[in-house]
């Protein structure tokens, strides 16, 4: 059955001097959640935002806070982000051994948040199999994590299709999120492959009218999703 995609604008590309206006614009345009990119300068070369900002942001909007942890020690810091108002927390498989990944997912869920796990472009989706049935969402990175404004890595939609197939085989249905270089040109590729949630940084916040840009991406993705469902006879 057709379900519209959710757009998760990444505030990494927003205007930090006028965040309230940018949040209001994406609320009005129908954003599904706010994507918060946390980078620690270790797991990725960049350093961005953390607990103090999330605390204020989560109080300033009813949109769910989708926290993407690009940090080396997520097990230690998950509770900080839970307390600061996260609704979903994504950890990277590359930052954790298998046992730690299992513990991190359990910790997030026990804390009342939705749990997600991510793979970088060079990491096979198979590393997520030990936790796939326990995940609320899988995040496929379509750029190397670290910076907004990069170009979508062609072929990333293949990993989306792999996760859809793996989840089906296991009898689970986590949301599938894609992050990196998503805009009107690339959204249809991943939506047709089965993506449910699209992170957009520059495509939304670098646009003159962020709300209109958000809706344009959502419309392009939804059209591709309808076509793919029709082609599959669903």
Please give the positions annotated as active site.
Answer: 37, 179
Interatomic CA distance for residues 173 and 181, integer angstroms: 25
Query: How big is the CA angle at 216 (ends 157 and 137), to the nearest 5 degrees?
Result: 40
- Tokens of residue 50, six digits: 């953390």
Q: What does the binding site for ligand DX5 look like in residue numbers (CB under 6 A)?
A: 10, 12-13, 35, 37, 68, 143, 145-146, 148-150, 179-182, 199-203
Taking the least distance from each CB to Zn ion, the nearer of 51 and 229 is 51
Compute the Cα dihedral for 107, 111, 115, 121 and give only its sign: negative
Partner from ligand DX5, Zn ion, none contacting 73, C-beta within 5 to 8 A by type: none
Taking the least distance from each CB to ligand DX5, the nearer of 121 and 130 is 121
Partner from ligand DX5, Zn ion, none contacting 188, C-beta within 5 to 8 A by type: none
Partner from Zn ion, ligand DX5, none contacting 157, C-beta within 5 to 8 A by type: none
Kindly identify the residues of this chain, within the stretch 24-63, that bind Zn ion according to CB under 5 A: 37
Interatomic CA distance for residues 228 and 232, integer angstroms: 6
The distance of closest approach from Cβ of residue 137 to ligand DX5 in the complex, given in angstroms and rounded to an integer, is 14
Work out which of 22, 40, 136, 179 binds Zn ion, going by CB under 5 A.
179
Work out which of 68, 92, 120, 225 binds Zn ion, going by CB under 5 A.
68
> Could you tell me which stretch among 52-60, 104-112, 156-164, 176-184 binds Zn ion (CB under 5 A)?
176-184
The distance of closest approach from Cβ of residue 156 to ligand DX5 in the complex, given in angstroms and rounded to an integer, is 12
Q: How far is CA 23 from CA 20, 62, 84, 113, 223, in A?
A: 5, 10, 18, 22, 26
With CA atoms as reference, report the closest residue to 177 among 153, 165, 155, 193.
Answer: 193
Taking the least distance from each CB to Zn ion, the nearer of 40 and 179 is 179
* Torsion angle, alpha carbons of 75, 76, 79, 85, to 10: -90
How many CB atoms are located within 10 Å of the residue 62 CB? 6
The distance of closest approach from Cβ of residue 179 to Zn ion in the complex, given in angstroms and rounded to an integer, is 4
Residue 117 half-sphere exposure, CB side, CA atoms within 13 Å? 31
Taking the least distance from each CB to Zn ion, the nearer of 45 and 165 is 45
């Amino acid at each position: 059955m057709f379900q519209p995609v959710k757009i998760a604008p990444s505030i990494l590309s927003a205007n930090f001097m006028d965040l309230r206006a940018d949040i209001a614009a994406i609320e009005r345009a129908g954003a599904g959640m706010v994507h918060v990119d946390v980078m620690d300068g270790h797991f990725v070369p960049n350093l961005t935002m953390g607990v103090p900002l999330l605390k204020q942001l989560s109080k300033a909007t009813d949109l769910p806070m989708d926290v993407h942890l690009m940090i080396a020690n997520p097990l230690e810091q998950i509770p900080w982000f839970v307390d600061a108002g996260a609704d979903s927390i994504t950890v990277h498989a590359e930052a954790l051994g298998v046992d730690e990944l299992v513990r991190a997912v359990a910790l997030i869920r026990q804390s009342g948040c939705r749990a997600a796990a991510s793979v970088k472009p060079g990491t096979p989706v198979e590393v997520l199999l030990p936790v796939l049935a326990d995940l609320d969402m899988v995040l496929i990175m379509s750029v190397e994590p670290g910076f907004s404004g990069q170009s979508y890595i062609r072929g990333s939609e293949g990993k989306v299709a792999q996760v859809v197939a793996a989840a089906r085989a296991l009898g689970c249905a986590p949301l599938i999120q894609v992050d990196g270089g998503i805009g009107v040109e690339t959204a249809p590729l991943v939506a047709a492959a089965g993506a449910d949630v699209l992170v957009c940084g520059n495509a939304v916040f670098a646009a003159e009218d962020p709300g209109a840009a958000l809706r344009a991406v959502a419309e392009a993705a939804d059209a591709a999703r309808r076509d793919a469902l029709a082609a599959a006879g669903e």
